[in-house]
Amino acid sequence: MNSPLIQARGLIKRFGDFTAVDGIDVDVRAGEAFGFLGPNGAGKSSTMRMIGCVSPPSEGELRILGMDPRRDGPRIRARLGVCPQLDNLDTELTVRENLTTYARFFGIPRKVARARAAELLEFVQLSERADSKVDPLSGGMKRRLTIARALVNEPDLVLLDEPTTGLDPQARHLVWERLFRLKQQGVTLVLTTHYMDEAEQLCDRLVVMDGGRIVAEGSPRELIERYSTREVVELRFTTDEQGTYAEKLAGMADRIEVLPDRVLMYVADGDDALAEVHRRSLSPSSALVRRSSLEDVFLHLTGRTLVD
């Protein structure tokens, strides 16, 4: 009963010479919300496609719902809900038909499909657009419809690849709220994201991926405790040379990071540290004390270089 829904050992995915996923171990347990966090190109989507049984692993062991994706693909997929990174809704069908037709692919009887479509449209707040085609819908609506479609077979496991990328804040919050409800209903969620707030809001446990490898694993809280300090002081100085302050601030923080526009001090107590800064009359033009976030962990682990 308590065997993991997803179990990966030494999982590798290669595309020609390029290794997208480079030997990862993952366990996802029933009922949890599990996140793959990482910059673009970290191997998140490739991992998701392998879990979704549409991409055969190059090497390693992978078991989904206790079955082997190489052999039991259709049987596993029957119990999965997949929300891909790019919407692939059927533009020739209406909103409602997108759900009923998709249900038919799972062998769900027409009558049940219609009832479930109505229920799900209610759940994602699209009932009023039921007979509209897909194209005129906004990005957020399409995403919600894709999520509804992923739920049409009442899956045990829902895979969401960057569920809120490209959505405006209102749309993102609506999606989060619906996902949170699913989680409360006991649905196991696996999602990828590069938004820290999303990971903090939704994930019980997550792994940080970089360059095809897992570089850290734990709950958002644990990761912050392990890889960051409790608080962060952000200082801006009027001079262009933020760098010269690194030396002056040395010894006052666990770690100091110099960015082009500001200096970050990783400390246990932000107010104490700021008082010390003022006492040494280093007078920053602005100062902000905040709690450490997953973003600090993420940037610490995956570096600040831009990855496309």
Instruction: Answer whether 294's CB lies under 8 Å from 223's CB.
Output: yes
Of the candidate residues 102, 237, 245, 266, the single one contacting another protein (CB under 8 A): 102
Q: Does 105 help bind another protein (rule: CB under 8 A)?
A: yes
Angle between helices 294-302 and 220-227 (to 10 degrees): 60
Extract the runs of DSSP E, i.e. beta strands, from the chain: 6-15, 18-28, 33-37, 59-64, 80-83, 157-161, 188-193, 205-210, 213-218, 231-236, 255-258, 263-267, 286-291
We find the least distance from the C-beta atom of residue 174 to another protein, in angstroms, to be 22
Find the part of the chain contacting another protein (CB under 8 A) among 25-33, 82-90, 172-180, 271-279: 82-90
Q: What angle do CA 200, 150, 36 make, to 5 degrees?
A: 30
CA dist 207 and 217 (Å) reads 4
Q: Which is nearer to another protein, 134 or 207 (CB)?
A: 134
Q: For another protein, what does the binding mask look like between residues 138 and 167, x meaning CB under 8 A? A: -----------x---x--------------
Answer for which of 3, 54, 181, 303 binds another protein (CB under 8 A) is: 54
134 near another protein (CB under 8 A): no
Distance in angstroms (rounded) separating the CA atoms of residues 190 and 81:
10
Minimum CB separation from another protein for residue 103, in Å? 9
Contacts with another protein by CB under 8 A: the residue count is 30
Binding region for another protein (CB under 8 A) out of 67-75, 176-184, 248-256, 259-267: 67-75
Structure tokens belonging to residue 230: 């409790």
Q: Give yes or no for residue 55 binding another protein (CB under 8 A).
A: yes
52 binds another protein (CB under 8 A): yes
Cβ(99)–Cβ(138) below 8 Å: no
Contact with another protein (CB under 8 A): which of 91, 125, 244, 283? Answer: 91
Instruction: Give the three-class secondary structure for 197.
Output: helix
Among 3, 10, 40, 56, binds another protein (CB under 8 A): 56
Question: Which of helix, strand or coil describes residue 87?
Answer: coil
Q: Stretches 47-55, 162-170, 172-180, 271-279: which one binds another protein (CB under 8 A)?
A: 47-55
CB of 116 to another protein, least distance (A): 14
Which of 63, 75, 205, 230 contacts another protein by CB under 8 A? 75
CB of 105 to another protein, least distance (A): 4
Q: Are 6 and 27 in contact (CB under 8 A)?
A: yes
Give the nearer residue to another protein in terms of CB position, either 103 or 256: 103
Nearest to 80 by CA among 164, 170, 195, 161: 161
117 binds another protein (CB under 8 A): no
Distances, alpha carbon 158 to alpha carbons 76, 227, 274, in Å: 12, 29, 45
Q: Which residues pair with 159 in a beta bridge?
A: 82, 190
In angstroms, give the least distance from the CB of 106 to another protein. 6
Nearer to another protein, 110 or 291 (CB): 110
Spatial CB neighbours of 158, under 8 Å, sequence gap ≥ 6:
80, 81, 82, 83, 150, 151, 182, 187, 188, 189, 190
Site for another protein, rule CB under 8 A: 15, 52, 54-56, 73-75, 77-78, 80, 82, 84, 86, 88-93, 97, 100-102, 104-107, 149, 153
